[in-house]
Amino acid sequence: MIWTPWVMITDVWIHNASLAALPTLVALSFGNKCLRVHYEKASWAVRAFIPCFERLINTRIEMLKYSYSLADLKVDGRSMGVNFEIDLTNLARKILTRLKTRERYKEIISRLPEEEVDIFFELKICEDLFFVARLLSIVRWHVSASCDKTLQLVLCPSTPISKELTSLRENEYIRVRTYYSPAYALYALKNAVRDAFNKRFFLRRLVGEGLDLSDRSGRVAVHFVDGADTEKKSDIFWYRRSGIGAGRMLIYFDHYRNAKVPISGAVIDEVERTGIPWVCLYESILHLQGRKVSRQKNPAFRLNYDEVPKLKTGGAKGVDRWIVDNFRTLSVQITMALRFYKLFNIKVVFDLSAPHLELVAERIALDMTGGIRIGAQRSALKGTEYQYALRYNANHLLFVWGSVITTHRGTSRALREFIISGYPFDAAFQDKPLSGSIFLEDGRRVPKRAFTIALFDNAYNTKGPFSKNMMALFYKKFLAWLIEDDGLAIIMKEKKQSSFFDSLPDIDKVFSDALKTGRLVRLNNSAGYFPSQVARHADIAVGIGISSAVIEAVVTGSRGVLCDLPGHRSNPLYIWGYDKIVFDDIDRLIDFLKKMKKDPQREAGYLGWAPHIDEIEPFRDGRAGERIGGYIKSLLESLEKGQTQAEAMDRARDDYMRRWGSDKVLVKCGE
């Protein structure tokens, strides 16, 4: 079917039925006896206008509010929440392929590394298309679930990138149409102002402690993401065993990670206890409540654009204007990173952040200065294609748990090497008694003779693989079993303390009844424990999805199974562990656990992790920090001696393979 303006439309889908969309909705209503408008949000003016307009033109316009979580929408047993990340990336890839044929883009990649530029622009496309891509996922599900073969029209605000969607026709029943909205012009203006501000004021003043600009020794910069307490998940878990002095380190705070988590005096105290100097790149994120920190003018303040190639911007319109504007942002971010790296003589950057546009600019800046950017795998591999953490990874090197990572397709072409180091947080291998914080207010603890399950949930939202309804089902099933079985106990470790669990639908009564049994423990301080430390106090760990918490528990010596309600069926675990360690049906999983409870030894052999555990984590010795720290020290020493980026990486790789095995370094792991 080829769509034209005269084709009968009965269903229109829109994320936000705003005043800007109203003229398009009115135009579509002419010639249609009944128009169904599915919306997630709508302005009061639109909702008030539509009934009046219906009576005026004698037509029917149904305004149908939708409220979907992608995780609840399933096709062939797999939730749209699992598909969304892949679908969004595929859309971005197709549009990037078109952009790469344009002269403006060709000019950019002739001046900057193509791999990094591609990551930046593809990630930017993902950001710009996020809401319309989510809406497309909902409409695809609607077409599949309802077998509705009428044309479904998706409306979205007009931007240079959304216009590219109108000609991508993957489904004959779904079309995309744009409408004029001033939002994009305001967004572009905001970005231009922000870039100008950053160009003028970034690092004009230094806020931090222990900053000695006269010391020109090379430094390792650590991005503050998880914290500085090595007894928990920490950004410096590798530091103590690295042999690198505190004066050669620098912890930095920036707005990307910390915008919604203000830096308090307690955080600063935690960092200063390590003895490592720190700097805050954006003073506005500090919320110190009277605590004093050092502030000084930057004696080397200047912004030199000479190192960032310029692009001719005259006459650019439409998508070319979009390319030019985003190149301007990329250029400013590169220059900001150059200023930071040169001021503190940064040779190596260690960063546990999720992919972000600024991190790509930082990678390009490090290539310019001959430095090296390093990351580490934080979560288990969920799927085998286009996972964000790998697709848009801007590091030179990535420390990973095991070789299973190589099953992933679509890995960033900017990544040079995977270094197999094992599960990174060594403290997870240490036993930690569940002391006072395991008790509830009345002092209950898990009965010693009960079959105990450590239950790990996950964060949920309307866009990802986990929904509120899914999490409620997970808890209700296990708590109902607890209530009926006197020989069962459960320890709950929540990923998001209190608020996420408490807002689950219809959970209050079953939770109250479960508490009355005296066999349910809800940790009061979930963040204070690694999942492995909780799992050691249970007979088995159970987590929802492809749970990193359960896999952490397994590699540190506990037993565990996965309740994969979202249906990550492309995960390698399904090949050899389906209905043994990974279950996509919660009733089958509970039946399995009931058999294990009756005869733990008989069922233990069916867990099935042992033959494949080396692919997931070959070391399992709690020495990943030592391996990573040694690698970073080798890189720093080589770069300090004047070796090139490539020479430093070659030396560190060779040393690592001699000590830990030639199969522990996987070179050139991009697409």
**Highest mean pLDDT of the ranges 283-292, 307-316, 522-531, 648-657:** 648-657
The encoded tokens of residue 159 equal: 């931007």
Q: Per this entry, what is the length of the chain?
A: 671
Paired tokens of 34: 């009944």
Give me the mean pLDDT over the 74-87 stretch.
Answer: 89
Q: Residue 626 pLDDT > 90, yes or no?
A: yes
pLDDT digits (tens, 9 = 90+) for 138-170: 999 999 888 777 889 999 999 999 999 888 776
Q: Kindly report which listed range (37-41, 528-532, 629-633) carries the lowest average pLDDT score.
A: 528-532
| Percent of all residues in the chain with a pLDDT value above 70, rounded to a whole number | 92
d(CA 603, CA 596): 5
pTM over 0.75: yes
Quick check: 7 pLDDT over 60?
A: no
Q: With contact defined as beta carbons under 8 Å apart, do 563 and 579 qualify?
A: no
User: Is 655's pLDDT higher than 80?
Assistant: yes
As a whole number, the mean pLDDT across the chain is 89
Are 232 and 528 in contact by the 8 Å Cβ rule? The answer is yes
**Residues 289-315: pLDDT tens digits?**
888 888 888 887 765 555 777 777 777
The first and second tokens of residue 150, run together, are 């009428």
What local confidence, expressed as pLDDT, does residue 306 receive? 56
CB-based burial, 121-147: b 16+ in 10 Å, e otherwise: bbbbbbebbeebbbbbbbbbbbbbeee
Average pLDDT, integer, range 47-65: 88
Burial class for 279, CB neighbours closer than 10 Å (0-12, 13-18, 19+)? buried
pLDDT digits (tens, 9 = 90+) for 176-216: 999 999 999 999 999 999 999 988 889 889 999 999 888 88
For the segment 324-338, what is each residue's pLDDT rounded down to a tens digit? 999 999 999 999 999
pLDDT at 260: 54
| Least confident interval from 35-44, 116-125, 516-525, 605-614 | 605-614
Top-confidence residue, 391 or 32: 391
Report the C-alpha gap between 602 and 464 in whole angstroms.
37
pLDDT tens profile 434-479: 654 444 434 445 666 789 999 999 999 999 999 999 999 999 999 9
Taking only the tens place, the pLDDT of each residue in 240-286 is 999 999 999 999 999 765 545 678 898 999 999 999 999 999 988 88
Of the candidates 542, 536, 539, the residue with the CA atom closest to the CA atom of residue 428? 536
Mean pLDDT calculated for residue range 571-593: 95
What is the three-class DSSP state of 388? helix
Q: What pLDDT band is residue 593 in, cutting at 50, 70 and 90?
A: very high
Short-list 244, 238, 278, 237, CA closest to 258: 278
Q: Tell me, what DSSP letter sits at residue 527?
A: G
**Residue 10 DSSP code:** -
